[in-house]
Amino acid sequence: MKFTFASQTKEQAEKFAGHIKAERQIDSSISEKDGKFFVEYSLADCCYDKPTSSCETPCTPSYDDLSRVTSYIFKEMQYQVNWLWAEIQYISSRFYAHQEGHLPPIKGADKMEKALNTLGIGGDYEVIKPVVYARANGGLEVDFPDAKK
């Protein structure tokens, strides 16, 4: 039975083809049509008992035969979906692992200014330092101006 796996990118199609080659020892071919890439591969046909009598006219398969074929196709579809989920999980974990190497959160305008200068982009950005105004006239009034202005 012939199965097809469709992908938007050639890299993913090649990755799936490599996966089924390594895990299941199945050869495949990759083709392109309308900007999509298709991995075509064949598996042994679904096995079920042949009718005991020879039919000169097409035989009607039994419910059990159809159930076996349907189950066989469903299992292969489930295999492809499981591979996709594993690939999404891998990409997700790599994304979060990649974030660990980025700069830590910078607290304070002074440290932000130093970080921008170290990166060589200090002239492209203006760091506005927060200012606190206080006045004491029998009480304390504090004003925190909006730093976005």
Domains present along the chain, CATH in parentheses: 2-51+59-99 (3.30.70), 109-143 (no CATH)
C-alpha distances out from residue 48 to 44, 57, 64, 68, 72, Å: 12, 19, 9, 7, 11
What average pLDDT score do residues 67-73 get?
86
Q: What is the pLDDT of residue 57?
A: 61
Question: CB within 8 A of 40, min separation 6: which ones?
Answer: 2, 3, 4, 28, 29, 30, 31
Looking at mean pLDDT, say which of 8-17, 47-56, 98-107 comes out highest: 8-17
- In the predicted model, is pLDDT for residue 101 greater than 80? no
Q: How confident is the model at residue 27 (pLDDT cuts 50, 70, 90)?
A: very high
Q: What is the pLDDT of residue 84?
A: 93
Kindly report the length of the chain: 149
pTM for this prediction: 0.55
Looking at mean pLDDT, say which of 11-15, 44-48, 97-101, 130-134 comes out highest: 11-15
